[in-house]
């Protein structure tokens, strides 16, 4: 991990209409910012077929569905950027710097808060295969929550492959427990029928840890997805649901917006230490993985998804309908270059 004394000077905050970052002749401001992220490696082509059917999620016999939109957002503060991009470090150092640039974990987690962390633990894969969130990212966020005064820190997900294998082989279970987190595997007794108020998602079983917390931190990994194009922060919310999630693929973009409108995170930290360029979301071939050593974090989930999709897959919002739909619903903006953004380099 890079120590404070080893860091290069911090980049300055970039307010919306202020001076753009130094850019090469002929580049727009947006292109110049994205160029910072392109550390080699070509953008992914579309390949593979999407697999997102949870065989181990259970739909309980519904009683009366509760109306339970979860809005855990933190108020904007002009002192802090909406998005921070940190490059060049190991996972724990990336998390530390990203949170520092956003104002520190105490901005997001208060004394006695029950905090749920939502990494991607969907697949029976190792960290090197980049199908699940990096375990060191999860562990460092757990540690930061305790330091901020959390009462409980829970790590959970509704896996697609067999949950025990996913939690173990991903390394997340061991890493989270080593930092004192409570790790909860999917359990058929722990779902509650909820009226999600969506266009596609109406009454649906939701895993109860996501319904009974004070704060929720989204910890997705950046990956290719054969059906959507990419699976990023908003797609990570599929892992709060039980039931037959494959049914949502018929209207997948609308279902993603419904989910994002239902579950509004306190903060998002996008794991881009390793990214899965092709054959997502399951991956498996190390040739499809690129090491980027980057963290993209912030408080606008739409802008974060738009930023990362453009950076490594060269996908604009018009190629990802769920982004423009989410922006129209007031969940964030696709115009990330108009937000306050900070770029930092470690090492």
- The mean pLDDT value for 272-290 works out to 97
- The model's confidence at residue 12, banded by pLDDT at 50, 70 and 90, is very low
C-beta separation of 240 from 260 below 8 A: no
Per-residue model confidence (pLDDT) at position 59: 38
On the question of pLDDT at 184 being above 90, the answer is: yes
Q: Residue ranges of the domains in the chain?
A: 51-345
Residue labelled with tokens 């969130």: 133
Nearest to 217 by CA among 314, 345, 121, 73: 73
On the question of pLDDT at 263 being above 50, the answer is: yes
What CA–CA distances, in Å, run from 302 to 2, 36, 137, 309? 30, 20, 21, 11
DSSP string over 30-97: HHHHHHHH--SSPPPPP-S------TT---PPP-SPEE--EE-PPPP-TTS-SEEEEESS-HHHHHHH
Least trusted range by pLDDT, from 14-28, 182-196, 226-240, 271-285: 14-28
- The model's confidence at residue 259, banded by pLDDT at 50, 70 and 90, is very high
Burial environment of residue 254 by CB neighbours within 10 A (0 to 12, 13 to 18, 19 or more): middle
- The mean pLDDT value for 88-110 works out to 98
Both tokens assigned to 225: 């997805």
pLDDT tens digits, 69-88 = 899 999 889 999 999 999 99
DSSP string over 263-323: EE-SEEEEEEEEEE-SSTTT---GGGEEEEEEEEEES-HHHHHHHHHHHHH---GGG-HHH
Residue labelled with tokens 């633990």: 121
Q: pTM of the full predicted structure?
A: 0.83
Architecture of domain 51-345: 3-Layer(aba) Sandwich (3.40)
The better pLDDT of the pair 58, 69 is held by 69
Other C-beta atoms within 10 Å of 74: how many? 16
- The mean pLDDT value for 94-115 works out to 98
Q: At what angle do helices 321-328 and 252-262 cross, to 10 degrees?
A: 40
C-beta separation of 118 from 219 below 8 A: yes
SS3 240: helix
66-67 and 70-71 strand pairing: unpaired
289-298 and 83-87 strand pairing: antiparallel
Burial environment of residue 205 by CB neighbours within 10 A (0 to 12, 13 to 18, 19 or more): buried
Other C-beta atoms within 10 Å of 232: how many? 30
Residue labelled with tokens 């509650």: 192
Q: At what angle do helices 301-313 and 321-328 cross, to 10 degrees?
A: 160
What CA–CA distances, in Å, run from 188 to 172, 195, 208, 237, 335? 21, 19, 11, 18, 40
Per-residue model confidence (pLDDT) at position 246: 86
């Amino acid at each position: 991990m890079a120590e404070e004394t080893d860091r290069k000077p911090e980049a300055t905050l970039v307010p919306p209409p202020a001076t753009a970052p130094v850019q090469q002749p002929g580049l727009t401001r947006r292109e110049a910012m994205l160029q910072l992220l392109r550390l080699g490696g070509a953008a992914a082509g579309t390949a593979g077929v999407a697999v997102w059917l949870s065989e181990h999620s259970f739909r309980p016999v519904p009683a009366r569905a509760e109306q339970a939109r979860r809005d855990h957002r933190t108020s904007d503060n002009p002192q802090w950027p909406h998005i921070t991009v940190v490059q060049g470090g190991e996972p724990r150092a990336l998390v530390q710097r990203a949170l520092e640039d956003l104002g520190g974990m105490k901005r997001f987690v208060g004394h006695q808060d029950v905090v749920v962390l939502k990494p991607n633990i969907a697949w029976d894969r190792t960290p090197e295969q980049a199908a699940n969130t990096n375990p060191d990212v999860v562990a460092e966020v757990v540690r930061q929550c305790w330091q901020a005064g959390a009462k409980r820190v829970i790590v959970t997900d509704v896996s697609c492959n067999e949950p025990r294998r996913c939690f173990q082989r991903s390394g997340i279970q061991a890493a989270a427990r080593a930092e004192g987190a409570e790790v909860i595997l999917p359990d058929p007794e722990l779902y509650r029928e909820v009226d999600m108020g969506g266009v596609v998602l109406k009454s649906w079983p939701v895993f109860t840890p996501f319904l009974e917390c004070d704060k929720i931190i989204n910890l997705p990994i950046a990956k290719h997805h054969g059906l959507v194009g990419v699976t990023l922060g908003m797609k990570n919310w599929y892992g709060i649901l039980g039931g037959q999630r494959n049914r949502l693929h018929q209207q997948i973009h609308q279902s993603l917006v419904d989910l994002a409108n239902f579950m509004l995170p306190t903060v998002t930290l996008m794991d881009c230490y390793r990214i899965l360029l092709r054959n997502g979301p399951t991956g498996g071939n190390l040739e499809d993985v690129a090491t980027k050593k980057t963290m993209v974090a912030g408080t606008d989930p739409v802008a974060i998804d738009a930023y990362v999709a453009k950076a490594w897959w060269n996908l604009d919002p018009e190629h990802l309908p769920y982004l423009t739909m989410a922006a129209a619903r007031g969940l964030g903006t696709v115009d990330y270059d108009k937000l306050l953004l900070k770029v930092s380099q470690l090492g």
